[in-house]
Amino acid sequence: MPDLKQELLNELHLKLKLDVEGIDYEPEVICDFAGYFGILKRLNLPSFDPSLLDRLQLPIGITLPYGTDVGAIPVKGSDYSIAKEDGALLLKERGRLIAEVALTPQPEWIDKFTSDGTPMYEVGFSSSGNSQDKSIIFAYSTECSVKEKNETCLFCCLNGNSVLKQGASLWRNPLQIAETSKAAYDEGYSHLTITGGFVPERRELDYYLDTAEKIQEAIGRKDFNGSACIGAPVDLDVIEKYKEAGFSSIAFNTEVWTKPWFEVICPGKVTECGGYDNWLNAIKRGVEVFGRGNVRSIFVAGLQPKELLLEGIEQLSEWGVVVIASPWKPYQGSPLEGHRSPTVDWHWDIQQKTAAIQRKNGLTYRDHFNSSPGRTVTMELIALEEGRLYARQKAAENEEIA
């Protein structure tokens, strides 16, 4: 009998590997896929292989044998590849078979259009796949105004010049987001995140309030379980306005821990958001206004020594913040393009320690789902410890039996 917990842990380790290293798709496989990566084009996301541009036909993700979904970021030259043999999709590591995988089921909203004719796959993105808990993310802008002063965060690709963004529209308006939310919520989605680069003169508050109102109108209720991902406002009283507008959680991504690192890695956030101390004060005020478990902060894991990063994760967790240690991927178009992230084992250690620290501070899977833009490895590790992945496995077995 296989040790199921160990098998599930192995699968989460593989999810992490694929997230960090990406997947090199064989051309004949790509032609078969039915998904879309329209949002990647807008966001100028990853080490996207430009030769694939003329056929944005990629899956929203792949599903590993125990039901774990993995975002399927294409990276030319990755050790991991997917080939099709005798009708089966085979995941290989340097040519050696490691698992038979499936395509992550694609939501129906992805094929729909907003009332102004915009394809919804260019408005929202989701890799929720097989999970019962599904969430969608909206990036309302594809540029960040810190670009004007040459203060782009060093890991961020949003302001990069890329062939990918050519012809991609810069803005998504509140109605497009509301209509796409409605289509997703009609399909059982239950969480959304709104994010984007800074708007000139920090006018994003009006945008977020308008969008919240449109979403409430579209889905017909006040509580839409939405996260507003914003930069720290200089006037911290503004945070209450997001709560009043109907957002149930708020996110301030700290990215790196301690002031000297923040000033080097995130110069634009220093200029626009009142500096590092104000950033941390915004997080603390966020917890006062929204409550423990309803404020989220992402660290870009891999930019700093491990001990320093863990110190930040400990501190924010003690304050009741949902912390994500997102593995650093040196994206094309980011100032650190061409650099390398730490090893997968380094990242695995961080994921496991983050999950343990979060649990020690009473932060749960539900807190993570309700405030995260996607399914992270930390979230899955917490779900595993809470027994939720076993439940998913049981459901899958029962379906097979039925």
Q: In the chain, how long is the greatest CA-to-CA distance? A: 61
Is 146 among the residues that bind ligand SF4 (CB under 6 A)? Answer: yes
CB of residue 174 to ligand SF4, shortest distance in Å: 19
Is 152 among the residues that bind ligand SF4 (CB under 6 A)? Answer: yes
Give me 311's structure tokens: 């110190």
Taking CB under 6 A as the binding criterion, the range among 12-20, 36-44, 144-152, 165-173 that sits at the site for ligand SF4 is 144-152
Nearest CA-CA partner of 322 in 288, 368, 290: 368
Taking CB under 6 A as the binding criterion, the range among 80-88, 146-154, 165-173, 320-328 that sits at the site for ligand SF4 is 146-154
Q: Cα 172 from chain centroid?
A: 18
Question: Between 188 and 200, whose beta carbon lies closer to ligand SF4?
Answer: 200
- Determine how many CB atoms are found less than 10 A away from the CB of residue 329: 22
Is 36 among the residues that bind ligand SF4 (CB under 6 A)? Answer: no
**Cα 399 to Cα 395: distance, rounded to the nearest angstrom:** 6
**229 backbone dihedrals φ, ψ, rounded to 5°:** -100, 110
**85 backbone dihedrals φ, ψ, rounded to 5°:** -135, 125
Give me 272's structure tokens: 């626009």
Among residues 22, 268, 327, 373, the one that binds ligand SF4 under rule CB under 6 A: 268
Taking CB under 6 A as the binding criterion, the range among 103-111, 149-157, 287-295, 322-330 that sits at the site for ligand SF4 is 149-157
CB of residue 107 to ligand SF4, shortest distance in Å: 26
CB of residue 267 to ligand SF4, shortest distance in Å: 9
**Cα 4 to Cα 11: distance, rounded to the nearest angstrom:** 10
CB of residue 334 to ligand SF4, shortest distance in Å: 9
Is 153 among the residues that bind ligand SF4 (CB under 6 A)? Answer: yes
CB of residue 186 to ligand SF4, shortest distance in Å: 30
Taking CB under 6 A as the binding criterion, the range among 55-63, 216-224, 265-273, 308-316 that sits at the site for ligand SF4 is 265-273
Is 198 among the residues that bind ligand SF4 (CB under 6 A)? Answer: yes
Among residues 158, 177, 192, 218, the one that binds ligand SF4 under rule CB under 6 A: 158
Sheet holding 191-195, edge to edge: 124-125, 135-139, 191-195, 226-229, 249-251, 295-301, 322-327
CB of residue 156 to ligand SF4, shortest distance in Å: 3
Q: Cα 131 from chain centroid?
A: 15
Among residues 156, 280, 310, 321, the one that binds ligand SF4 under rule CB under 6 A: 156
CB of residue 256 to ligand SF4, shortest distance in Å: 11
Q: What are the DSSP calls for 144-207, one per residue?
A: -GGGGGT---TT--TT---GGGTT--SB--HHHHHHHHHHHHHTT--EEEEE-SPPGGGTHHHH
* Contact set with ligand SF4 (CB under 6 A): 144, 146, 152-153, 156, 158, 197-198, 266, 268-269
